[in-house]
């Protein structure tokens, strides 16, 4: 299941290395000697959780269904234009962060506001629908950062 999620993320243009870079972005102030390898390891651990895998699969399925037109209106249009008032994409991200406590939640809020690196790229307007994906990537990075903070 974890491998399937890694393949799905990759098909949507997100590699685990990209998420690890977001972890480094979140942790650079608190953990200046954090290596890319350690960040990547934390991302892999987060992706090992069944609840996270379920969120990744659901998120990508919804984005792809909207893109293929395989969804009823008005939901299809809401997802295709990434309506900022929709909010359910963020709620799914909280579902991941809740597994990792309050540090994950505050990290997610920060990364969602700053939109660094791959999260910024996912937010650029293009033919691909990333309404759920950007939040899932942010939540995985935030959770991995929380894991590192707690295990230090």
DSSP state of 124: S
Contact range with Mg ion by CB under 5 A, out of 5-13, 20-28, 84-92, 109-117: 84-92
Nearer to Mg ion, 64 or 134 (CB): 134
Rg (CA), the chain: 15
Asked if residue 135 binds Mg ion (CB under 5 A), the reply is: yes
Does position 134 interact with Mg ion (CB under 5 A)? The reply is yes
- The residues, ordered by sequence, that sit 6+ positions from 135 with a Cβ below 8 Å of its Cβ are 59, 89, 90, 92, 93, 112
Q: Does the footprint of Mg ion cover residue 89 (CB under 5 A)?
A: yes
80: left (phi over 0), alpha (psi -120 to 50) or beta: alpha
18 binds Mg ion (CB under 5 A): no
With CB under 5 A as the contact rule, which of the stretches 16-24, 65-73, 114-122, 123-131 interacts with Mg ion? 123-131
Handedness of CA 126, 142, 144, 55 (dihedral sign): negative
Residue nearest to Mg ion (CB): 89
Residues in contact with Mg ion by the rule CB under 5 A? 89, 131, 134-135
């Amino acid at each position: 299941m974890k491998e399937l999620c890694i393949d799905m993320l990759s098909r949507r243009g997100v590699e685990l290395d990209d998420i690890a870079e977001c972890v480094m972005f979140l942790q650079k102030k608190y953990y200046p000697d954090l290596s890319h390898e350690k960040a990547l390891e934390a991302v892999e651990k987060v992706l090992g959780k069944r609840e996270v895998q379920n969120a990744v699969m659901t998120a990508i399925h919804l984005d792809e269904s909207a893109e293929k037109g395989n969804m009823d209106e008005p939901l299809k249009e809401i997802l295709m234009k990434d309506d900022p008032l929709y909010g359910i994409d963020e709620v799914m991200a909280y579902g991941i962060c809740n597994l990792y406590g309050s540090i994950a939640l505050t990290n997610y809020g920060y990364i969602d506001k700053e939109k660094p690196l791959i999260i910024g790229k996912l937010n650029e307007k293009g033919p691909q629908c990333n309404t759920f994906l950007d939040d899932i990537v942010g939540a995985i990075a935030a959770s991995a950062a929380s894991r590192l903070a707690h295990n230090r």
